[in-house]
Amino acid sequence: IYINDIVDGSPAERSNLEKGMFLLSINNVTTQTPEEFVNFMNTTTAGQEVEIEIKTTEGESKIYTLTLGQHPDGTSEKGFLGVYYGTDGVKNIPVGLSIGEYPAHDYLDMLKGLPSMLTGVAGWVILLGLPIIGFAGEGFPGFSGTLAQFYEPVGWGEPLGVGVFWIANSLLWIGWLNFYVGLFNCLPAVPLDGGHVFRDYLQSFLKRFTGDEIKSTTLAGTIAGTFTILIILSFVLMIFGPYIVHGF
């Protein structure tokens, strides 16, 4: 494996590995292809001590002993070496090609783990905020476009082909939009259901103090109407506020 570059602050840098070296083996397991390197690293854990054989830029073979670090994505338990690697030796130098591993298995495992997390508040926060914040602040658009290219339907989904992604995306967005439509409907603004509930509870509450049904109804209607106006104004401000500040 040709080392294209070294990650700053990584175990590779601390062990004085350099760009231009060749990674020959790890713990006596040869690494002639990126697949062999990735397969071995998937079996490691952070803090594990490994012995790597390196062919230096001078052509010498040396053995380095180093301790693997924590993976930068923060979600994987596998060890981290900290090298950008190529597939075909020095042929990668002119074009500056480096290859990274997309964490497809880790991403899928996180999605599969969501149902078990719904017994707590954190699981619901992640689920309902998934399209906005995703798992690492990047947002989750569903299995579409480039993301769908990293997965292949198997088992019962195999006959459906790409139809599996259409079904998954439809369920994601229908469920997510329905929840937020329902949440919007809870706003204390007439004619939304939340506005009617707010006004009725407020009228019942005020009647206990005033003892006058007409007065409490009028007062509750006025307060509910004021809330409605404030909420409408807040929406208008969110839409036109940036233009007022920065110009149209």
In this structure, is residue 62 part of a structural domain?
A: yes
Torsion of CA 158, 159, 162, 167, to 10 degrees: -90
| 82 backbone φψ class: left, alpha, beta (φ>0; ψ -120 to 50) | left
Do the beta carbons of residue 221 and residue 190 sit within 8 Å?
no
Structure tokens at 235: 């929406």
pLDDT tens profile 31-54: 888 788 888 888 888 889 999 999
The answer to whether position 186 is within a domain reads no
The answer to whether residue 133 is domain-embedded is no
Last residue of a domain, one of 92, 119, 138: 92
Give long-range contacts, CB 8 A cutoff, 24+ apart: 50-53.
50/26, 50/79, 51/26, 51/27, 52/23, 52/24, 52/25, 52/26, 52/27, 52/81, 53/23, 53/24, 53/25, 53/26
**Among candidates 54, 17, 24, which has minimal Cα distance to 40?**
24
Rg (CA), the chain: 29
pLDDT recorded at residue 52:
92
In a domain, 70, yes or no: yes
Between 85 and 123, residue with greater pLDDT: 123
Q: Which domain holds residue 77?
A: 3-92
Domain count, the chain: 2
The answer to whether residue 106 is domain-embedded is: no
Report the chain's mean pLDDT, rounded to a whole number: 84
User: Does any domain span residue 235?
Assistant: yes
The tokens for 109 are 């495992």
Question: What's the CATH number where 49 sits?
Answer: 2.30.42.10
Q: Does residue 130 fall inside a structural domain?
A: no
Closest CA to 54 of 85, 77, 78, 79: 85
Q: Range with the lowest mean pLDDT among 27-36, 120-129, 144-153, 173-182? A: 144-153
Q: What percent of the chain has pLDDT over 90?
A: 23
Structure tokens at 243: 């233009």
Tell me how far apart the alpha carbons of residues 71 and 191 are, in angstroms, rounded to a whole number: 51
Last residue of a domain, one of 69, 92, 115: 92
Angle, alpha carbons 66-67-73 (nearest 5°): 125
Task: State the number of CA atoms in the 13 A half-sphere of 169 facing the CB.
Answer: 13
Task: Name the residue type at position 36.
Answer: E
Mean pLDDT of the region 5-24? 88
Which of 37, 62, 92 is where one domain is finished?
92
Does residue 225 lie within any of the structural domains? Answer: yes
119-128, 130-139, 183-192, 208-217: least confidently modelled range: 130-139
Rounded to the nearest 10°, the torsion over CA 41, 45, 50, 54 is 30
The reply to whether the predicted model has a pTM over 0.75 is no
